[in-house]
Structure formats: C-alpha cells, structure tokens
A and B are shown apart, each in its own frame.
Chain A
Amino acid sequence: MLKQRNSEKEIELFIGPQHPASGHMRFIGRVDGDIFTNFIPDPGWVHRGIEKIAENRKWVQIIPLVERAAILDAANMNIGYVMALEKLLDIEPPPRAQYLRTLLCEINRITSHLYGFGIAGIMIGSSTFYMWPFADREPLIDIAQLITGARLTYSYMIPGGVRRDLPQGFREKVLKALKYIERRLNNDYFRIFFDNPVTKARYQGVGVLKRNDAIKLGIVGPNLRASNVKYDVRKVEPYAAYPELEFDVAYREEGDCYARLLVRVEEIRQSIKIIRQILDKLPQGPIIHKKYEKLISLKKLEECQKTGILGLPAIFTALRPPAGEVISRVEAARGELIFHIISTGELRPYRLRMVTPSFRNIVLFRELISGARVMDFPAIYGSIDYFPPESDR
C-alpha cells in the first residue's frame, strides 16, 4: 500500500520566471506556516549555449560573444578572455593599454554594484533606492561611451592592446562624475537606506554565512569577503595594471546580508580611489603591441593621432595561436571569473570554458534560505547579487 508522504500543512510554491521577484529563474519551495522547509533553485531559463557557439567562431569574433554572458560586467568578461588569448600568443600589451583596460574595468565594477543595489532595494520594497542607483549609473555610462563608443557593449580590448585612445577633455569629466557619485554614496544613500532602521531590521542577522561554510562551498566575490575571508584575485594573482596601484581589500566579519551590502559600498569607494590613481599615473605610449602595430597602415596610424581610433590589423581574420591549454583568472564584479581555453592551432578554439561567479554562488540559495522565513527570501536574494544570465551562459 502506498502512503502519501507530503503532509497537508505544507504548501509547495513555484516562484516562477513570471514573478516580480524572481528574475529569469524559477524556485521551488515548500512552506510550512512561515518557514521554508526545502528550497531548490531551478536555473537554466536563459541558457544560450555560449560555450558551444564559441567553437564555431574565429578567435576575435568571440570577444563580443563572451561579453554578452553578463552584459553588466562586459569589461571584466572581455579582459578575462583576452588575457587567456594573450597567454596563448605569448605577448604582453604595452603599459598604456594596461592602464586603459584597468580604467574601464573599474568603471564597470562601480556600475555593476550600483545595479546590484537597485535590485536589493526593490526586493525589500524601497522604490526610492531602486531609482537612485539606476539614475546614478548614467554619468558613468556616459563616460564609458566617450571612451569606447557604446553604452554597455564595449568590445574594447583586443589581443595586444585596446582599440581606441582617450578623447580630449576626458579627465575633467571623469573627475566630475566621481565627485558626484562619492557625494551621493556617502550622504544620501546612507541616510535614506543603509541607516534606515527598517533596512537594518530586514538585513541584520538574516542569512548568516559562516566562514567555514563559505570556504567549503566555494563561494566567491563580495559574498566571500563579507564572511571574514580576505581573498581578492587582484591581490592574489595581480593582472593588468593592478601591481602598480594601491588599494585595500574590502571585507567584513559578520556574514549577514547587511555585511554583504556594506562590502559592496566599500568596493565602490576603493574603485573610485583606483580610478583617480590611474588618471594621475597614466603613461604615454602606444596602445597596441608592436607586432600588430606594424601591420596597420601608416595612414590609419596618422589618423589615430588625431581622432584616437586605432583599428584592427588584418591578421585578426586569420589569427592562429599555437596549440596549448591556458587558464586565466579575473576578479569580475560578482566574484572570480575563470577562462579555460584549449587550442589546437586552428582558426577556431577546440574548447572554451568559462566558470562565472554567479554559477558558483547559486548554492547559497539552497543553503541560506532553507530554514528561513518566507519574507527573508527577497532580502537574501537581493544581497547575494545573483545575475541569472551570467549563471546560465
């Protein structure tokens, strides 16, 4: 005889893709009264097959492809892939190109964290703190448009260097935008949201992640640093211009949702400090490796002195890096991003594998929300800063 196992008092909730608080994924939870007894995330609704498509594209054509895995964070995805490709080709970009790459990466880190704040705000109901970070991204996106020519889809870094140089009058605009963001962050954001007793009641003590659990589960990014682990790829394995820049690693000890948000606030402050150092220390020089600079026609090089647009050498349509297997690690806004590329010396890669930080953080849903109250689910979701397209690729 078969006996029914589910008790009558548990409701099974499908918080599906058509829900204001779920993003592009589904959650299956069992609710008993006010507590989730069992909580399973169900990703895969935004899977576009980026790794498989990359096996049919030439090496330079993959640059816009991997950016669109997490379009908020395009510069960090870009730099991860290009660093792996440069390891295969065995070249190093010139110093000015390294500094320009770092500049775009840090601007992108600030905009991505502001987007995360917006989502955290609307999830616990504060519509003001949803509109303000999104409005404050506008000056920075305008700055990024001045450098690269597009608002979000940069495709700025190519193997050997970068595509364009800085335009005139750039430095003053960036300093103005940074002053605006600093003033808003330190004054108004704290007064209306972070110091608000309602916010503190929703976030403090909720979703606590202990240090040993964080290390055992393989969590990355600001979620790890909020649990008292000082691990940042920019300090462990420095790349681009980071060996020459001074900044601190933001970390906190409590491990609850409030700590994760404050780690992101501190990271924005450190990024502002890094951008100011870059503007002071920017060296002069070429923006692409000499091997490729020789292959660009003289007429285009002269135009580059005037307008700043360099262009690509024609060899990129038939780029054949030597056979080998490389790994590159980058600190994206949400955590550590790994690219693993296997090449057999052909026009197209044999295998491209990207391990994104959101995919490694998805286990936090199962660990933190089982046993928590129903109304804690949006608070925890907002504080993890999970981005479904980045996780599904």
Chain B
Amino acid sequence: MVTRIISNFYYHIRAIFTGLKYLLSPGIRITLKYPDELLILSENYRGMLKLNSELCISCGLCSQICPAGAISLKLFEHEQTKQVKKYPEVDYKRCIFCGFCVDICPSKALELTRIHDAAFYVKDELYYEVNRLITGPKIDLPCKRSKYVISEVDEVKGIVYRNT
C-alpha cells in the first residue's frame, strides 16, 4: 500500500515535469501561419485541372470515368481555323479531385496543377468552361505580407516549414 502511494506520487511528479519541460524549452510549433505563410504543395499533388487543347483527341474517356460526373463534353468551333471539335468542361461543384480523368487520358491533354483553392465569390465561377480550362486556374495572394514556404519532415520537430 505504501509502495503504491509512493509510485503514484512519482508518476504525478513525472507528468508535471514533462509538462514543465515542454513549457520552458524553446518552442516547437507545428502551426502554419496562414495567410502569412502559403504552402507550396509537392510536385504530383492532385489539384485543379488544366487542358491542352492541341493534344485533346475528343475521345470522351475522361467524362466516362469521372466518378462524380463533373466533366461534360461540348461542341466547340475554333475561331481562326473553323475546326469543330468536342472539348471537356469541368464543374467544380462536383469534382472530388481524384485524378482519374488525368490518368486515363490517352494523349495526356489534361494535367494537374498544384492549386487546390476552388473558392470564388460568385457561384457561377465554379463551372470552368473550356477557355478558362485552357488558361488554367490562378490564385491571388491573400494579403500583402504572404510568403511561400515548403514543408519538410524533420526528425526532431515533426514537420517544419521552410522559406523558399
């Protein structure tokens, strides 16, 4: 019984000292200070889509494989060459960013960008028609003092954000 009291007291003291160790040692913070720091994602991140209209062969496989039904093909006429072809359009209200369309495209016309912020002020802007899909998505800096950082796995601190 006495040993139980002493061992309980020892474990209490050890817990308090661990807390004090974390309190008094120099800080490890895992927070990403958004919007001061913006994260550049890794190279093969599955973000929003971009279309290369010269490589597209209008097969329609992207629309057939999309699990959420976000891609639809429509007829378009090129202004200068008067060529009529079908091109895909993406509805980001439905897209789940799975990347199946990019993987199945036989001529690699669709490609992934590293931008994932599909946030707009007007609801109709969520529907990317073909001209916007060819130029691709773009983001503005949220505030003037934003900087870009890259994340890195570290042995001591877990994850660290380094400036570029």
| Chain A residues within 8 Å of B, Cβ to Cβ | 57-58, 60-65, 128, 135-136, 138-139, 142-143, 145-146, 149-150, 153, 155, 163-164, 167, 173, 176-177, 179-180, 188, 191-192, 195-197, 297, 299-300, 303, 307-314, 316-317
A64 B96 Cβ-Cβ under 8 A? yes
Q: Which residues of A contact B45 (CB under 8 A)?
A: 145, 149-150
Contact partners of B106 in chain A: CB under 8 A: 297, 300, 314
Q: Is B15 in contact with chain A by the CB < 8 A criterion?
A: yes
- Within 65-92 of B, Cβ neighbours of A (below 8 Å) are at 65-68
Q: Tell me which of A58, A60, A62, A180 has the highest count of chain B C-beta atoms within 10 A of its own C-beta.
A: A180
Complex CA–CA separation, A176 to B156 (angstroms): 9
Indicate if the CB atoms of B42 and A145 lie closer than 8 Å: yes
- Looking at chain A's contact residues, the main secondary structure is helix
26 residue pairs of the A-B complex, CB under 8 angstroms, read A58-B65, A61-B67, A64-B68, A64-B96, A64-B98, A128-B19, A136-B158, A138-B159, A145-B42, A146-B42, A153-B96, A153-B98, A167-B44, A188-B18, A191-B18, A192-B18, A196-B12, A197-B12, A297-B106, A300-B106, A307-B44, A309-B103, A311-B105, A312-B100, A314-B61, A317-B64
Asked if B104 contacts A176 (CB within 8 A), the reply is: no
The answer to whether B14 touches A139, judged by C-beta atoms less than 8 angstroms apart, is no
Q: How far is the CA of A145 from the CA of B8 in the complex (A)?
A: 43
Chain B residues with Cβ below 8 Å from A60 are: 65, 67, 100
Complex CA–CA separation, A311 to B68 (angstroms)? 19
Q: How far, in angstroms, from A192 to B19 measured CA to CA in the complex?
A: 8
A63-B67, A167-B44 given; A155·B153 CB < 8 A? no
* B14 x A195 contact (CB < 8 A): yes
| Inter-subunit contact A191/B155 (CB<8 Å) | no
9 A-B pairs closest in CB distance: A61-B67, A149-B46, A317-B64, A311-B103, A312-B104, A191-B18, A312-B103, A176-B155, A197-B8
Contact between A308 and B67, CB atoms less than 8 A apart = no
How far apart sit A128 and B16, CA to CA, in the bound complex (Å)?
A: 12
Would you call A180 and B158 a contact (CB within 8 A)?
A: yes
User: Could you list which residues of chain B lie within 8 angstroms of chain A, going by C-beta atoms?
Assistant: 8, 11-12, 14-15, 18-19, 30, 41-46, 59, 61, 64-68, 96-100, 102-106, 108, 112, 151, 153-156, 158-159
A139 contact set on B, CB distance < 8 A = 153, 158-159
The distance from the CB of B79 to the nearest CB of chain A, in whole angstroms, is 30
Kindly report which residue of chain A lies nearest to residue B99, judged by CB atoms: A149
Given A135-B158, A316-B65: A153 and B97 interface contact (C-beta under 8 Å)? yes
- Assuming the contacts A60-B100, A64-B98, A191-B15, asked whether A312 and B153 have C-beta atoms less than 8 A apart, the reply is no
Contact B153 A163 (CB under 8 A): no
Chain B contacts of A57 at CB under 8 A? 67
- Give the one of B112, B151, B153 with max A CB within 10 A: B153
* In contact, A196 and B15 (Cβ under 8 angstroms): yes
Shortest Cβ distance from B67 into chain A, in angstroms? 4
Within the complex, the shortest CB–CB distance from B153 to chain A, in Å, comes to 5
Residues of the B chain whose Cβ atoms lie less than 8 Å from the Cβ of A308: 44
Instruction: Tell me the complex Cα distance, A191–B19, Å.
Output: 9
Contact of A300 among B19, B66, B99, B108 (CB under 8 A): B108
Task: Tell me whether A149 and B158 are in contact (CB under 8 A).
Answer: no
Q: How far is the CA of A317 from the CA of B104 in the complex (A)?
A: 9
Most buried by B among A61, A63, A65, A303: A61
With A153-B97, A196-B11, A312-B104: A177-B46 Cβ-Cβ less than 8 Å: no
Chain B residues with CB below 8 A from A153, complex form: 96-98
Residue of A nearest to B14 (CB): A191
Q: A180-B154, A191-B15, A312-B104 are in contact. List 15 more A-B contacts (CB 8 A).
A: A58-B65, A139-B153, A139-B158, A149-B46, A155-B99, A173-B153, A176-B153, A191-B18, A192-B19, A197-B12, A299-B108, A300-B106, A311-B103, A314-B59, A317-B61
Name the residue on A nearest B65 (C-beta).
A317
Residues of A within 8 A of B112 (CB): 149
**Counting chain B CB atoms within 10 Å of each CB, which of A150, A308, A309 scores highest?**
A150
CB of A314 within 8 A of CB of B104, answer yes
Given A150-B97, A312-B103, A316-B104: A192 and B15 within 8 A (CB)? yes
For residue B160, give the distance in angstroms from its CB to the closest CB of chain A. 10
Q: How far is the CB of A73 from chain B (nearest CB, A)?
A: 17
Closest to B60 in A: A317
> In the assembly, what is the distance between CA of A164 and CA of B43, in Å?
13
Task: List, in ascending order, chain A residues with CB within 8 A of B64's CB.
Answer: 317
On chain A, the residues within 8 Å of B96 by CB distance are: 64, 153
Complex Cα spacing A267 to B97, Å? 32
Q: Report the minimal beta-carbon distance from B37 to chain A, rounded to whole angstroms.
A: 15
Residues of A within 8 A of B14 (CB): 191, 195
Question: Which A residue sits closest to B108, measured CB to CB?
Answer: A300
Q: How far does the alpha carbon of A61 sit from the alpha carbon of B151 in the complex, in Å?
A: 32
Q: A284 → chain B, closest Cβ, in Å?
A: 21
